[in-house]
Amino acid sequence: DLAPLLTQVHALPPPEHFTLPRRELLGGVERWLRLAGDAIDPADADYLRGRRDGFAKAAAALAPHLPPGPIHGDALPRNVHIGPDGPVLVDLETFSADFREHDLVVLALSRDRYGLPPEAYDAFTAAYGWDVRAWAGCAVLRGARETASCAWVSQHAPTNPKALAEFRRRVASLREDDPEVRWYPF
């Protein structure tokens, strides 16, 4: 259900009477790391800040494959709900205007890090009509999203030992440049 819904969102023109914000994928990193406080290793926080800065600079230099425009911002299957009139997208707080590739990288990362079966990903790309992994900028948006995902988990570390363990696993996999390490939703 996600691919047809994203196709509809990505076909939308920019609004005429207001401006959608840009997708600030890395915008929460500092706040989340501060919320983590002393629960996380300061070296890990500094490492993520460095990644944030590097990926922000790299993302600013990207040229999109798809025309920029409205995006969902957190396009995951869990954000599709089936209502009485069919599937609808929910969780719209990151709805914005930016590279449409942002929405597609989310599912590619779900395949590579979170255990989405490859055949489910292949069905998605077939229904959407394009695989973002073929785009030269995919690694940049993926790295930015991985950085944000690590920082997001860190904010839960002070009160949740499982969050701290997941944060450490994620950061270690980034430091070791190991894209095969499975991450768990939190």
What residues form DSSP beta bridges with 97? 70
User: For the whole model, what pTM was predicted?
Assistant: 0.93
Cβ of 93: how many Cβ atoms within 10 Å? 7
Could you report the per-residue pLDDT of 131-176, keeping only the tens digit for each?
Answer: 999 999 999 999 999 999 999 999 999 999 999 999 999 999 999 9
> Measured between alpha carbons, how far is 145 from 45 in angstroms, rounded to an integer?
16
The pLDDT-based confidence of 58 (bands split at 50, 70, 90) is very high
> DSSP class of residue 139?
H
> DSSP class of residue 178?
-
Cβ of 21: how many Cβ atoms within 10 Å? 12
CA distances from 162 to 34, 40, 117, 135 (A): 19, 13, 24, 35
> DSSP class of residue 42?
H
Q: Which two tokens stand for residue 42?
A: 């300061």
What pLDDT sits at residue 132? Answer: 99
Cβ of 22: how many Cβ atoms within 10 Å? 14
Could you report the per-residue pLDDT of 71-109, keeping only the tens digit for each?
Answer: 999 999 999 999 999 999 999 999 999 999 999 999 999
What pLDDT sits at residue 156? Answer: 98
The pLDDT-based confidence of 43 (bands split at 50, 70, 90) is very high
Cβ-proximal residues to 126 (8 Å cutoff; 6+ apart), any chain: none
> Measured between alpha carbons, how far is 23 from 17 in angstroms, rounded to an integer?
19
Question: Sign of the CA dihedral 28, 115, 113, 136?
Answer: negative
**For the residues 100-126, what does the mean pLDDT come to?**
97
> DSSP class of residue 181?
S
Could you report the per-residue pLDDT of 13-42, keeping only the tens digit for each?
Answer: 999 999 999 999 999 999 999 999 999 999
What pLDDT sits at residue 150? Answer: 98
Residue 186 has pLDDT above 90, yes or no: no
Taken in order of first residue, the domains within the chain and their CATH numbers are 2-175 (3.90.1200.10)
The pLDDT-based confidence of 63 (bands split at 50, 70, 90) is very high
